[in-house]
Amino acid sequence: MDDQQPTITGFDSSDLGSTAILPGIPASVSPAALTNPKADLAAMAELERHLFAHRYARIGMECYGGTIDPEAATADRGEALSILAEEDQALLCSPETGALLERLSSASAVLSPIEAAQVRILKRDRADLVDVPPEVQSSMLKLITESDDVWRRAKAKGDWATFEPYLDRVVDKIREVAGYRNPGADPYDVMLNEQEHDTNRAFYDRFFAQLKDVVVPLLADVRASKRKFARSPFEGRFDVSRQWELARDLVRLEGLDESKVFLTSTEHPFSDGLTSNYAVIAAHVKENDVISNVYTMLHEGGHALYEMGVDPALDRTSLKGGTSMGMHEAQSRFFENYVGRSQAFAPRLIEVMARQFKGQLGRVTPNQLYAAVNRVEAQPIRTEADELTYPLHVMVRYEIEQLLVDGEATAKDVPGLWAKLYHDYLGINVPNDARGALQDTHWASGLIGYFPTYALGSAIGAQLKAAMVREGMDFDAVCASGDLTPIHSWLRSRIWRYGRSRDTNELMLDACGEPFSPVYFTNYLTEKFSSIYGL
Amino acid sequence: MDDQQPTITGFDSSDLGSTAILPGIPASVSPAALTNPKADLAAMAELERHLFAHRYARIGMECYGGTIDPEAATADRGEALSILAEEDQALLCSPETGALLERLSSASAVLSPIEAAQVRILKRDRADLVDVPPEVQSSMLKLITESDDVWRRAKAKGDWATFEPYLDRVVDKIREVAGYRNPGADPYDVMLNEQEHDTNRAFYDRFFAQLKDVVVPLLADVRASKRKFARSPFEGRFDVSRQWELARDLVRLEGLDESKVFLTSTEHPFSDGLTSNYAVIAAHVKENDVISNVYTMLHEGGHALYEMGVDPALDRTSLKGGTSMGMHEAQSRFFENYVGRSQAFAPRLIEVMARQFKGQLGRVTPNQLYAAVNRVEAQPIRTEADELTYPLHVMVRYEIEQLLVDGEATAKDVPGLWAKLYHDYLGINVPNDARGALQDTHWASGLIGYFPTYALGSAIGAQLKAAMVREGMDFDAVCASGDLTPIHSWLRSRIWRYGRSRDTNELMLDACGEPFSPVYFTNYLTEKFSSIYGL
């Protein structure tokens, strides 16, 4: 496991903008243009070219920034990123672009489906930015570049105090931006909606309530069960450079085109895609935790599969990328859990692991792996949680970020809240801030409203898997074969290829024949853990 | 040895541009602005912000492009780079920017020295681009991104035929651009002048004639000498990962701030700087050639020292970077040769090498190292040449590129010309194209007129060293101490800190009290090799 956040949506600076006038978009729109959709399409293509170049530059800078760039360059990179974002905001938010998109909107008859989707997404991206003053947007971007850097050092030292003022500043800034975006609305709803369109606090409250209803009693039953599973076969020290070799092997096992993946290391794993020709996976390897490496790779690989599975025709348009964070996490947690933690896949996985660690893992059985990675255990790290306790980790964050955004708590209160909620939900004591409130990078990166998408993504993934099975796929046989092509094909044809051109709701309806429902996820958890724990 | 080309000048896409109107630069200049230098300075600062963001993005993309990016992403990156360049050309070449720079030029009394230099360099960068049609400039950038990629694969396979059509296309395109830049001028002069201002064919013809007068007879004497030096202590296989450790040690030995350097690997070594906080060194390591690794690092490290030595106040302006390729190569060859191949530095160098390779190099003496790296030997690879034969390798390229630009030869003729000239100048047979005309990346990257700056840089370096000594520096003692700080301080205060704000001629006059003269270089060669070979 170990997460990531493809920076695709989130606080995506390609969604930003000032007042430059783009070559190709006439500064004063002549009335003739109103009846000249061809010229308007050319102008949109010109707009997309510039947005593409900035997006390509920006994603690269963000990916390398968190992995290989010197710390000393953080402020320079932050400045460069915020200027590019300012340019994008200027391009998108100019009155000329507004008029152009309105004209194209009303000329839908002459648009190809891709062009129509471009117009829709560009309008939405524009609407997200048009009321945010460029200097506010820009100061937010500089702040989160700096804050992410401060967080990295604070985590390394387990030093909450250093990070604390940054978290308050980030919350204030994100709230300010939300206020401009949608002045009447609940700021947290605005943030949730940015990560996953058409969601809000009411939606997630219901969703988490449904999860709780199942997870809490199930967890109690599991705890009462006499069955215990060992993780001992995976204890010990696993050579770091061999673990990187294993990471490469997992890229292949997952079915990624290795030649298009740059694999690098970072503090907090993530993945992103520049085009369908180029994905970055930033992972981390811990000498004493080979399991963490494996599930990090499967998770990030899922994100990369989505990014590289987008129709190449969309590469240089605003439709490139995953449609939302929920859908992105659905892909990552699909490969991490529905494939990676399945009994059927365990023989393939242990085979690949034992190839690098013959001495240590050569005699470990698939069932031992399956037991070790599905052992339910309350422990402090979200990214290392089993599938059953995972939603509880998310709920802790969901509650705390609401208190922060609502002004009912400040950063100073967070470690205390963290300790209390981990005790209430998971029954454990938080050992320290590094393994507590500093463990995740999200808030430092301005990603407030992101955490709930992990749980949502898990639930979407369960529903997608159910649809595959309903359509006749022998899911276990596919996993057992080690050739995941049928799963790729299914997801590519229903989800990946559309990029941002379809929203989650539309994709779910088309892929599953019904709207999103958390019941597949709760059923999956009940069935899986009842079986494992003999409930 | 092993070269690089900081992309700083060269075909620098920050020197490009179309028709966008920059935020901050009013589209229609009001007469009031003519008397409002404060507003004009703010507009120039705004222009510089955008150029900085694009330069930061572009240098990063170019550095990562040749090192870690997937081959599949080449076309996407080329497109993104050419769009950013187009934006810069638009920014720089707009009539508004032209008028702004003219006004600031005439208001020199109110400008700080840095602002005055910015105006001068921006005007020059603008003049280089203003007459080049954006579509021509853009097609050139896309072509060289592609051609560089084709070259890399062609070199790996030793396959001239694949690269051949690209070389012709590159020459045509560069000649076309030169024609726009300076319609009346000799296109090769335009190219030479781009790499090193105020140089042309006549200058280099004289320069190379002076070199030949010394090098050719000296080489004949060396060949006639009975002294022979062994390279055997450095033969054998040197573990690649230990060589990368050694590369890191050399970064430190050279006095670079390691925390600001990203060290990576590539086919053809290079170095570049994004700001004074961030340099990239792309090196390569060959298992059977530890010497090549050492001198690659010293060379690229010299470039990085220059880039990181620029006054941080210039970081986000057009004055960032080395002033010319000749001056850049002067720094790289300074640390490669005047420090790195000196007798005084040999004990420090072998000490560092032996730290990683105790078994293999623990008993090698400084004198054995000195002899091995100064052994004069005609061999086919420029970047592995000793200091005496090095200028001859450059002259081969200088002659061939003139024939290409003059239309007296095409790419088809190059391998034949290469064989003939290596035979004439160095008395050797070229073994194959990979170790022949495909060995260097420059032409593939559009860098025609670049090679002569290697020889020029060597000569500038010799003159700088002579000036240090004349001022009382005990150069050998500094090298022997292993602490190169006095050399850094001298170069920083005279050369590095000025970035692009002073041209080579001015820097040389100030640093050495006289204009450039090749006599220090020829004297150095005569003295050094007479002593080594007992002439």
Q: What residues make up the domain containing B163? A: 13-184
Angle at A226 between CA A221 and CA A227, to 5 degrees: 95
> At residue B27, does pLDDT exceed 90?
no
Q: How many CA atoms lie within 13 A of B306 on its CB side?
A: 30
**Mean pLDDT throughout A5-19?**
28
- Which residue is it, tokens 């599905």? A374
Q: Same domain, yes or no, for B251 and B179? A: no
- Compute the distance between CA of residue B355 and CA of residue B242 in angstroms, rounded to an integer: 10
Residue that is last in its domain, among B184, B219, B246: B184
Residues whose CB falls within 8 Å of the CB of residue B532, separated by 6 or more in sequence, listed in order: B227, B229, B371, B374
Q: Is the confidence at residue A415, as pLDDT, over 90?
A: yes
Is residue B116, in this structure, part of any structural domain at all?
yes
Same domain, residue pair B35 and B171: yes
Q: Where a domain ends, among B337, B364, B384?
A: B384
What is the predicted pLDDT for the residue at A34?
54
**Strands of B270-275's sheet in order across:** B261-265, B278-283, B270-275
- Locate A112 and state its tokens: 């190809």
Mean pLDDT of B440-450: 96
Q: What are the distances in angstroms from CA A533 to CA A16, A225, A366, A373, A527?
A: 50, 6, 17, 13, 10
Mean pLDDT of the B330-349 span: 98
For residues B285 and B370, state if they share a domain. yes
Each residue of B458-484: pLDDT tens digit?
999 999 999 999 999 999 999 999 999
Closest chain B residue by Cα to residue A53: B80
Confidence at residue B35, expressed as pLDDT on a 0 to 100 scale: 67
- Would you call A57 and B61 a contact, using CB atoms and an 8 Å cutoff? yes
Contacts of A182 (CB under 8 A, 6+ apart): A190
CA angle A505, A508, A511 (to 5 degrees): 150
Determine the distance in angstroms separating the CA of A7 from the nearest CA of chain B, rounded to an integer: 17
Of the CA atoms within 13 Å of residue A146, those in its CB half-sphere come to: 16
| Residue B191 belongs to a domain | no
**What pTM, to 2 d.p., does this model score?**
0.90
Position A497 confidence tier, pLDDT thresholds 50, 70, 90: very high
Q: Do residue B33 and residue B179 come from a single domain? A: yes
Residue A373 near residue A354 (C-beta atoms within 8 A): no
**Among B19, B57, B275, whose Cβ lies nearest the Cβ of A73?**
B275
Task: Determine the Cα–Cα distance for residues B513 and B98; give it in Å rounded to an integer.
Answer: 35
In the block, which residue shows the tokens 């510089």?
B48
Contacts of A324 (CB under 8 A, 6+ apart): A9, A195, A196, A197, A453, A503, A504
What is the C-alpha to C-alpha distance for residues A73 and A264, in angstroms, rounded to an integer? 19
Task: Give yes or no for a contact between A340 and A292, defined as CB atoms under 8 angstroms apart.
Answer: no
The answer on B172 and B243 residing in a single domain is no
Q: Residues A320, A324, A330, CA angle at the centre, nearest 5°? A: 110
∠ CA A51-A54-A58, rounded to 5°: 135
Is B67 a member of any domain?
Answer: yes
Dihedral angle computed from the Cα positions of residues B101, B105, B108 and B110, in that order, rounded to the nearest 10 degrees: -20
User: What integer pLDDT is reported at residue B166 of this predicted model?
Assistant: 98
Give the C-alpha separation, B299 to B341, whole Å.
11
Does residue B178 share a domain with residue B30? yes
**pLDDT score of A12:** 26
What are the chain B neighbours of A261 within 8 Å (beta carbons)?
70
More confident residue, A26 or A475: A475
Model confidence band, residue B340 (pLDDT cutoffs 50, 70, 90):
very high
- Whether the predicted pLDDT of B99 surpasses 90: yes
Q: How far apart are CA B485 and CA B253, in angstroms?
A: 11
Q: Name the pLDDT band for A13 (thresholds 50, 70, 90).
A: very low
What share of chain A in percent tops pLDDT 70? 93
Q: Do A259 and B70 touch (CB under 8 A)?
A: yes
Band (A68; pLDDT cuts 50, 70, 90): confident
DSSP-assigned letter for residue A108: G
Do the domain assignments include residue B74? Answer: yes
* Residue in A with minimal Cα distance to B82: A53
Q: What digits encode the pLDDT tens for the residues B188-222? A: 999 999 999 999 999 999 999 999 999 999 999 99
Q: Which helix (H) or strand (E) holds B278?
A: strand B278-283
User: Please, is B83 exposed, middle or buried when counting C-beta atoms within 10 Å of its C-beta (0-12, 13-18, 19+)?
Assistant: buried
Å from A262 to nearest chain B CA? 7
The token pair that represents A93 in the structure block = 């938010």
The type of residue at B434 is A
* Amino acid present at A507: L
What are the pLDDT digits (tens) for A169-188?
Answer: 999 999 999 999 999 999 99
DSSP conformation class of A279: E
What ipTM, to 2 d.p.?
0.88
Residues B151 and B289 occupy one common structural domain: no
Q: How far is A125 from chain B (nearest CA, A)?
A: 21
**Residue A35: what pLDDT?**
67
Asked if B179 and B69 sit in the same domain, the reply is yes
Q: Which pLDDT does position A325 carry in this prediction?
A: 96
H or E, element range at A116:
helix A113-129
pLDDT of residue A510: 96
A70:B20 CB<8 A: no
Which residues in chain B have Cβ-Cβ distances shorter than 8 Å to A14?
A: none
Cα–Cα distance for residue pair A378/A397, rounded to 1 Å: 16
One-letter amino acid of B113: P
Q: Is A362 exposed, middle or buried (0-12, 13-18, 19+ CB in 10 A)?
A: exposed
Asked if residue B7 has pLDDT above 80, the reply is no
Check residue A4 and give its pLDDT: 41
- Residue of B79, B137, B141, B315 to mutate when probing chain A, most A C-beta within 10 A: B79
Mean pLDDT score across all residues of chain A: 92
Q: Which residues contact A447 (CB under 8 A, 6 or more apart)?
A: A5, A10, A11, A195, A441
Amino acid at position B147, single letter: S
pLDDT of residue B36: 84
What is the layout of strands, in order, in the sheet containing A261-265?
A261-265, A278-283, A270-275
H-type alpha helices, A31-112: 37-65, 74-93, 95-106
With respect to residue B268, please indicate whether it lies within any of the assigned structural domains. Answer: yes
Give dist(CA A250, CA A273) in Å, integer: 18
Task: Please indicate, yes or no, whether residues B162 and B237 belong to a single structural domain of this protein.
Answer: no
**In chain B, which residues have their Cβ closer than 8 Å to the Cβ of A77?**
56
What's CA B490's distance to the chain center, in Å? 21
Query: Rg of the Cα trace of chain A?
Result: 23
pLDDT, tens digit, for every residue of A306-355? 999 999 999 999 999 999 999 999 999 999 999 999 999 999 999 999 99
CA A535 to the chain's CA centroid? 33
The three-state secondary structure class of A264 is strand
DSSP-assigned letters across all residues of B144-184? HHHHHHHHHHHHHHT-HHHHHHHHHHHHHHHHHHHHHHSTT
Instruction: Express each pLDDT in A118-168 by its tens digit.
Output: 999 999 999 999 999 999 999 999 999 899 989 999 999 999 999 999 999
Helix (H, G, I), strand (E, B) or coil at B300: helix
Residue B262 and residue B280 in contact, taking contact as beta carbons nearer than 8 Å: yes
Interhelix angle B37-65/B74-93, rounded to 10 degrees, is: 170
Confidence (pLDDT) at A266: 85
Q: Give the model's confidence band at B37: pLDDT under 50 very low, under 70 low, under 90 confident, else very high.
A: confident
3-state DSSP call for residue B286?
strand
| pLDDT, tens only, A425-469 | 999 999 999 999 999 999 999 999 999 999 999 999 999 999 999
pLDDT score of A10 more than 70: no
Helix/strand/coil (H, E, C) string of B306-362? HHHHCCHHHCCCCCCCCCCHHHHHHHHHHHHHHHCCCCCCHHHHHHHHHHHCHHHHC
Cβ within 8 Å, pair B20-A18? no
B21/A72 Cβ within 8 A: no
Q: pLDDT digits over A208-233, tens only?
A: 999 999 999 999 999 999 999 989 99
In the DSSP assignment, the letter for residue A513 is S
The residue type found at A76 is D
Same domain (yes/no): B52, B138? yes
Backbone angles phi, psi at B272, to 5 degrees: -155, 165
Q: How far is CA A276 from CA A279, B205, B327, in A?
A: 7, 49, 41
CB contact under 8 A, B64 and A60: yes
pLDDT band at B34 (very low <50, low <70, confident <90, very high): low
In a domain? residue B461: no
User: Can you tell me the mean pLDDT for B34-48?
Assistant: 89
Number of domains in chain B: 2
**pLDDT score, position B316:** 96
Report the residue of chain A nearest B22, measured CA to CA. Answer: A20
Verify that B58 and B163 share a domain, yes or no. Answer: yes
Q: Measured between alpha carbons, how far is residue A144 from residues A17, A54, A444, B18, B99 in Å?
A: 17, 19, 6, 32, 37
Gap from B352 CA to chain A (nearest CA, Å): 24
Q: What is the pLDDT of residue A410?
A: 98
User: A150 in helix, strand or coil?
Assistant: helix
Within this chain, do residues B26 and B165 fall inside the same structural domain, yes or no?
yes
Give the C-alpha separation, B519 to A371, whole Å.
77
Find how far residue B430's CA is from the centre of its chain.
25
CB contact under 8 A, A316 and B27: no
Give the distance from CA A5 to its chain's centroid. Answer: 4
Q: Does any domain span residue B134? A: yes
pLDDT, tens digit, 9 for 90 and up, residues A17-57: 222 323 333 343 444 445 688 999 999 999 999 999 999 99
Q: Tell whether B205 is covered by a domain.
A: no
To which H or E segment does residue A282 belong?
strand A278-283
Chain A residue whose CA is closest to B312:
A76
Chain B residue nearest residue A22, CA to CA = B20
Distance from CA of A269 to the nearest CA of B (A): 18
Q: Which residues of A touch B277 (CB under 8 A)?
A: 70, 72-73, 75-76
Q: Cα separation of B154 and B140, whole Å? A: 20
- B49 phi-psi bin (left φ>0, alpha ψ -120 to 50, beta other): alpha
DSSP code for B408: S
d(CA A19, CA A89): 8
The three state secondary structure string of A388-430 is CCHHHHHHHHHHHHHHHHCCCCCHHHHHHHHHHHHHHHHCCCC
**Greater model confidence, A265 or A160:** A160
Does pLDDT of B388 surpass 90? yes
Contact state of A53 with B260 under an 8 Å Cβ cutoff = no
Position B1 pLDDT exceeds 80: no
What is residue A267's predicted lDDT score, i.e. its pLDDT?
A: 79
> B321: closest CA among B283, B279, B282, B268?
B279
CB count within 10 Å of CB B482 equals 15
Could A21 and B20 be called an inter-chain contact, meaning their C-beta atoms sit closer than 8 Å?
yes
CA distance A476 to A528: 14
